[in-house]
A = this chain, B = another copy of it.
Amino acid sequence: MACLREIEASQGKGQIVSSETLAALAGVKPTQLRKDLAYFGEFGRRGLGYDASELAFEIKRILKIDRIVPMILIGMGSLGTAFARFIITRANLEKDYPFRIQAIFDKDPHKTGTEFMGVRIYHIDDLKHMIQTLNPIIAVVAVPSQVSEPIIAFLCDHEVKAILNFAAPPTKIKPTKTIIHNVDLGAELEFLSYYT
């Protein structure tokens, strides 16, 4: 599936767009775009094209961002702060932005009990009894790699659907029900260096 996100933002209400136009915007071939969409259903009308707002809605539904996605953030170091700022700013700016940070967890007593841009910061120990109530779909792990593995294991045990992990990939656990997406800043640099 080639990048469909670009499409969403690109047209107003009631507008009809062709796969040709959309493909140009997304930087892919029209035929690829049509094939990708057809995989999920028939969203277009032959001879006409796609209804832009209808298509945007369908794409949101496919990506499961047609609803509020409750999240928790664990670790409020510089990376956690950067991530929280990014998400909360966007949620404040964009109507219907789906991702919401419900609670932040950290170990530092200088941070716990305070708020960051309107989101409460709890002690990491409170996660144990709060996770049931919060019931987050996604958890973001931005703690040091040395302490990340037990936290990730705990999250997997408690039915979190997906983890965005900025720490080192866990070595011991191989969860079946939880998807872990590892983001490795160091690897991004090595990747770039190769193409230098």
A residues contacting B by CB (< 8 A) are 5, 62-65, 69, 77-79, 81-83, 85-87, 90, 98-99, 137-138, 161-162, 164, 179, 181, 183, 185-196
Contact = CB atoms under 8 A, between A and B. Distances in A.
B196 A179 contact: yes
Contacts of A85: 77-78
Given A64-B194, A77-B82, A137-B196, A164 B189 contact: yes
Contacts of A183: 188
A70 to B, nearest CB: 11
B193 A138 contact: yes
Contacts of A164: 188-189, 192
A161 B193 CA distance: 9
A44 B186 CA distance: 27
A65 B161 CA distance: 37
A117 to B, nearest CB: 11
Residue among A161, A191, A193 facing the most chain B CB atoms (10 A cut-off): A193
A193 B65 contact: yes
Given A83-B185, A86-B185, A185-B83, A162 B78 contact: no
Contact of A99 (B65, B77, B99, B189): B189
12 contacts: A63-B190, A65-B190, A69-B193, A78-B79, A90-B186, A98-B193, A99-B189, A138-B193, A164-B189, A164-B192, A179-B196, A181-B188
Nearest to A163: B192
Nearest to A3: B187
Given A63-B194, A78-B82, 12 more contacts: A5-B190, A65-B190, A78-B79, A78-B81, A86-B186, A137-B193, A138-B192, A162-B192, A162-B195, A164-B188, A179-B195, A181-B191
